[in-house]
Structure 1
Amino acid sequence: MSADNKPSLAAGEAKLFPVVETAEGKVRGLRSGRIAVFKGLRYGADTSGANRFRAPQPVQPWAGVRDALDYGNIAPQIPGDRRHVYAGLILNDVQPGGMGEDCLVLNLWTPDPSPAGKRPVIVRFHGGGFYGGSSNSPGGDGEMLARFGDCVVVTVNHRLSALGYLYLGEDGPFADSGAVGMQDLVASLQWVARNIEAFGGDPARVLIVGQSGGGAKVSHLLGMPVAKGLFSSAGVMSGSRLTAMPRDQAAKAADQLLRRLGLRADQIAELQAVPFSTLLAAQADVEAEDRSRGEAPRSFAPVLGQAIPHHPFAPGAPEESRDIPLVVSTALDERTYRETNFDMGWEEVRQKLERRVGADADMLLAAYRDEDPQATAFLVNARINSDTSFRLGAATMLERRVAAGGAPTWAYLWASPSPAFGGRYGAVHGIDVAYSMHDIRFPLAGPTDDSLRLADEIASAWVALAATGRPDNPQTPAWAPYDLARRDTLVFGHPTQSVSDPRGFFRAYWEKDAAGRRG
């Protein structure tokens, strides 16, 4: 190679492998289809050993350039079970990066890693409840959305389950251990505030959004004082979480796990030396014990404490996010992902309803069948279960936001069914994730013209919310904020349209039913 070729080769390498200087040190990414990709960026220190069950610790600055070319660790977790067909549809088993406690990492996609960019930023938190999943899965790939929306996309890994939410008391060295997984997310947003401008993003225009467990995480962040000021808009997709775990319930789960590990309450410090594989095995055994007694498995989720001083949306909307524009959504047939009896008959549905609502069962079942004469008994059963869980939570969140005043709130309902298995799952839980990422290659979506139309619509709404604080955009019909008079909701379907109080009869019925059960 001649000396004359060296400068041009160096320039080509810099273009293919862009280097960005963060507050902690320089990182090297890789350009793919004109999008610069940085994977495995550390926003917090390794959480093993002395850092286990403690608030996230800062990353130590480094000299030289660190590669950010591949995914970092996913949080230790019990793998998803592929015997359930739905798990394969969401590619739950494809999580590169390896499992380990050095999991405070994030991935970033940007059209141009230059401080002059000032692009809107979309930070997405993964689903999987508070126990599983990662942002390394194919559904967390932000390349297509960054390109489509000319925005910066960030996805985040953090501690899960017992490692993120094991309650070890209110005092001592592990105080607030029941919230360290949520504190990780706050640390990731602090990293964004420090560094996103260097990657071409605007720290003043940061949307946080998540589906399912990701939506539950956003719900909590909306009420956490330590997160205030770190984002400018928010989206809760099929994950409206109204309450945190009370301390007494969290203490029971912790006691059960400690007993399984053979530790006393005064031996908590020894937990830091237990291999995470042993901890996970004990957790799995506890869940199996609960199921054998016919009980719901003990779960580990954010616990009230210093970081989470109050429930996110109970008794009302949080004051901390009063000025944050918010979108709240559900999918029509959320609960099909939990069901396997695809040959369910109408009599079984009626009997289930009768056990819940008594004499109203026949009337209610007739209303569901009249709403959609083509729906199978399997779909209607799941729709009922969706109305009494996901949809009820979302409606409560919307109503409490409106009652509190402040920034506007918008609602959407995803009604377009998945083509998977001939449409038997309907508009299933998680269906809007791929469309929101403008990535329609996944089994729940599919590469069709109609899928592309829906992806254009929903992705445009998220980008607009990040950029302007409103989801209005040229791709969707006019979308009015939610209020208690009209309850305007954008229904993504065929066609996508704005509807006043869609399925209002069912909303009103189940709200009254829930109030009766509480009272």
Structure 2
Amino acid sequence: MTSSEPIADTQYGRLRGSLEGDVMAFCGIRYARAERFRPPVAPEAWTGIADALAFGASAPQSNPNPPPGPPYVILAQLPRPANAPPLPPPLPESEDCLFLNIWTSGLRDGRKRPVMVSLHGGFFYGGSGSAVDGSKLAARGDVVFVSLNHRLNAFGYTHLAGLTEADEFAHAGNAGMQDIIAALGWIRDNIENFGGDPARIMVFGTSGGGMKTSFLMSSPAAQGLIHRAGVQSGPALRFMEREDAAAATDRLLHRLNIARSDWRSLLTLPMPTLLAGYHAVADELKPRNFTHLPCFAPVLDPLLLPQHPFSPRAAPLTNAIPMLIGCNAQEMSFFWGNDPGAFALDEAGLETRSQAFLGDRTGTVLSRYRQAYPDATPSRLFLQLFSDYSIQAPIIAQAERKEGAPAFMYRLDYQSPALDGKLGALHTMETPFILNTPQSARALLGEGDAPAMLAAKMSSAWVAFATNGDPNDQASGLPHWPAYERNDRATMLFDQSCRVEPDAGGLAREIMGDLVEG
């Protein structure tokens, strides 16, 4: 051991981290252990100094029988710069995956920094906290950044409550959320040793990360563990009803040729076999949009989720937590990776695709959108319409239903220059701005100073919110950002020039509001 190696104490033992410039990184910290479908339990203590130098395994998620064809998301098709380093190999996947990562600028220095806990996206079926880079925010010196892994898909959300009376499986349908709650408990009990403030913990995430955040806001088991919430392009008004979750479990058992009475066979199936069964069922039950959850997602639970977070109104526990919430202007182009025809629609194609979710209202809605976007091509008009329906309208509904502590609404309007500008402000594009990592996304964000300037503003706002529960920071260069109220619906628009606009999503709210489930 050298004197430059950072050493941190935890209640379970000491950890050796590494230096990344001015930041100390502690990666692959075990926060819990769990056997399949069972609740997480505290890790065992150790003697000596354990290494926290590398990310831990990701949760099982890869399809053993992947379908042919191009990747589903468009980002995978963007060209890589000629001088870009090769992509690192994917981390191994294991059921032993309950690890978190911490970046901090100070240990035992007498400071208590707000803590930003990032929950990764990927709905509830994929993703990894190891793909989140918190070093740039931690390098500012004013926050401690945490990312984490938790159980996913069938391993994290198989509802067994109707098949067994055993307490150890009563909450298997929310095992992945129990993991996150266990991680937040670990953070509360140990983060002060990493320069963090256990009384100022912001949980936030994009897409599925925002959905998980909404669950935590309304969960009695997470009460006191989360003090600010960031919901980014991941509205979550409601989660699965118990009968729907039970039906998904029945489909999985049928796919795997397991009788209901023999459900315990799920406990010993090889990991690839369970994953293959899950992916087959998930493909049968693809959601229509973000207001319709995929199968194997969080489920109503008398202890963990007694009511939906924001349906038909806000759950009482959400009242005490300020919320930063918003979306990107053209979210759904992200998902058109295997749908090239979506970028070349004619008027007939626009009407056919729109009718799939608008029904007999298609003509009226298209007329309003043509008036609002007179220069839009049919493809661009459908992209806007489908994005408003899928994400912006539910996001607005969640903000409208928030009570108590304030909500702050934003929309990212910055247009990606990639693929000749076809993508707009697509799903996940806010992440490099918020994390202040624009260099990592130049293929998407473009060259020049604009991406870095916007990243400085957005990351400052998120840090201010983590610090005070209010995104206003005089040093950010942003105009004053009022809380969202129904009288003016103030919305911060992030672009090359940022501004606050009243009721910026008014068209989506007026036309799509009654189509939002819940």
Preserved contact between residue 40 and residue 69 of structure 1 (Cα < 8 Å)? yes
Q: Provide the secondary structure at the position in 2 that maps to 1:380.
A: helix
Compared CA separation, residues 270 and 129, structure 1 to 2 (3 A): same
User: What runs of 5+ residues in structure 1 fail to find an aligned partner?
Assistant: 1-9
**Given the alignment of the two structures, is residue 97 of structure 1 paired with residue 88 of structure 2, yes or no?**
no
Tell me how far apart the structure 2 counterparts of residues 289 and 421 of structure 1 sit (CA, whole Å). 31
1:357-376 correspondence runs (5 A): 357=358, 361-362=362-363, 364-376=365-377
- Answering whether residue 305 of structure 2 is matched by residue 308 of structure 1, we say yes
Q: CA-to-partner distance for each residue in 1:432-470, whole Å, 9 max, x for gaps? A: 011111001213324531001110111011100111110
Q: Distance in 2 between matches of 1:349 and 1:262?
A: 42
Report deviation, 1:185.
0.6
**1:115 touches 1:201 (CA, 8 Å); kept in 2?**
no
Output the CA distance in 2 between the equivalents of 1:362 and 1:99: 48
TM-score with structure 2 length normalisation?
Answer: 0.89
Q: Which moved more, 1:496-505 or 1:334-343?
A: 334-343
1:289, distance to aligned residue in structure 2 (A)? 5.4
* Deviation readout 1:381-400 (Å, 9 max, x if unpaired): 12111111211211111111
- Residue of structure 2 in register with 1:65 after alignment: 49
Cα deviation, residue 510, structure 1: 1.6
User: Does the 8 Å contact 1:368/1:380 carry over to 2?
Assistant: yes
Q: 2:17 aligns with which of 9, 29, 32?
A: 29
Look up the SS of the partner of 1:14 in the other structure: coil
**Aligned partners of 1:148 and 1:307: how far apart in 2?**
36
Q: Which residue of 1 aligns with 2:399?
A: 398
Report how far residue 78 of structure 1 moved: 2.4
Q: 1:166–1:300: 8 Å Cα contact kept in structure 2?
A: yes
| Pairing partner for 1:492 from 486, 491, 494 | 494
Structural RMSD (CA): 2.3
Give the letter aligned to residue 326 of structure 2. S
* Distance verdict in 2 for CA 1:468–1:78, change over 3 Å: same
The one of 175, 187, 190 equivalent to 1:180 is 175
2:7 is matched with: 19
Q: How does 1:424-439 map to 2 (within 5 A)?
A: 424-439=422-437
Counterpart amino acid of residue 460 in structure 1: S
Counterparts of 1:354 and 1:252 in 2: how far apart (Å)? 29
| Amino acid in the other structure paired with 1:428 | L
Alignment-mate amino acid for residue 14 of structure 1? S
> What is aligned with 1:347?
348
CA 1:446 to 1:120, structure 2 compared with 1: closer, same or farther past 3 Å?
farther
Which consecutive residues of structure 2, in runs of 5 or more, have no partner in the other structure?
Answer: 81-86, 287-291
Aligned-pair CA distance for 1:266: 2.3
Closer, same or farther: CA 312–288 of 1 in aligned 2, 3 Å: closer
CA–CA distance in structure 1, aligned partners of residues 61 and 359 of structure 2: 41
Could you tell me which amino acid in structure 2 is paired with residue 247 of structure 1? R
Q: 2 CA distance for matches of 1:199 and 1:477? A: 33
- Cα deviation 1:296-321 (Å, max 9, x = unaligned): 99620011112122111112112113
SS in 2 for 1:435: helix
Select which of 158, 164, 167 maps to 1:166: 158
Q: CA deviation at 1:371?
A: 3.4
Q: Is the 8 A contact 1:18 1:31 kept in 2?
A: yes
Distance 1:377 1:35, change over 3 A: same
The DSSP-based 3-state class of the residue aligned with 2:129 is coil
Distance in 1 (alpha carbons) for counterparts of 2:320 and 2:308: 18
Residue 4 of structure 1 is matched in structure 2 by none
Which shifted more, 415-424 or 449-458?
415-424
Distance in 2, Cα, partners of 1:399 & 1:166: 32
Distance in 2, Cα, partners of 1:53 & 1:87: 33
Equivalent-residue separation in structure 1 for 2:89 and 2:172 (angstroms) = 26
Instruction: Report how far residue 506 of structure 1 moved.
Output: 3.2
The 5-angstrom pairing of residues 432-451 of structure 1 reads: 432-440=430-438, 441-442=440-441, 443-451=443-451
Residues 401-480 of structure 1 mapped to structure 2, 5 A cutoff: 401=402, 404=403, 406-440=404-438, 441-442=440-441, 443-474=443-474, 475=476, 476-480=478-482
Report the counterpart of residue 7 of structure 1 in structure 2: none
Aligned equivalents of 1:485, 1:477: Cα separation in 2:
19
Aligned to 1:40: 28
Q: Residue 286 of structure 1 contacts residue 298 of structure 1 at CA under 8 Å; is this kept in 2? A: no
Contact 2:57 2:92 in 1 (8 A): yes
* Residues 365 and 318 of structure 1, relative CA distance in 2, 3 Å threshold: same
Which of the numbers 129, 140, 149 marks the counterpart of 1:148?
A: 140
Could you say which residue in structure 1 is the equivalent of 2:84?
A: none
Shift of 1:89: 6.2
The answer to whether the 8 Å contact 1:73/1:100 transfers is: yes
Percent identity (aligned) = 36
Write the distance in 2 (CA, Å) between the matches of 1:368 and 1:289.
32
CA distance in 2, matches of 1:270, 1:215: 33
Alignment-mate amino acid for residue 495 of structure 1: S
CA deviation after TM superposition for structure 1 residue 369, in Å: 3.8
Q: Which amino acid aligns with 1:211?
A: T
Alignment of 1:237-316 (within 5 A): 237-288=232-283, 299-305=295-301, 306-316=303-313
Q: Which amino acid aligns with 1:433?
A: T
The answer as to 2:333 corresponding to 1:336 is: yes
C-alpha spacing 1:183/1:363, structure 2 compared with 1 (3 Å)? same
The amino acid of 1:73's aligned partner reads A
Structure 2 CA distance for partners of 1:506 and 1:254, relative to 1, 3 Å:
closer
Of 31, 39, 47, 1:55 maps to 39
In structure 1, what is the equivalent of residue 383 of structure 2? 382
Q: Alpha-carbon deviations, 1:240-287, whole Å to 9, x = none?
A: 111111111111111111122222222222322111111001122334
Judging changes above 3 Å, is the alpha-carbon distance between structure 1 residues 135 and 446 closer, same or farther for their aligned structure 2 residues?
farther
Q: Is 1:435–1:454's contact at 8 Å kept on the other side of the alignment?
A: yes
Could you tell me which residue of structure 1 aligns to residue 289 of structure 2? Answer: none
The alpha-carbon distance between structure 1 residues 297 and 121, as it changes in their structure 2 partners (threshold 3 A), is closer
For the structure 1 residues 485 and 149, does the alpha-carbon distance in structure 2 shift closer, same or farther, using more than 3 Å as the test?
farther
Q: Cα distance, 1:419 vs. partner?
A: 2.1
Equivalent residues of 1:288, 1:297 under 8 A apart: no
Equivalent residues of 1:206, 1:231 under 8 A apart = yes
Aligned mates of 1:197, 1:456 — CA distance in 2: 27
Q: Is the 8 A contact 2:365 2:511 kept in 1?
A: no
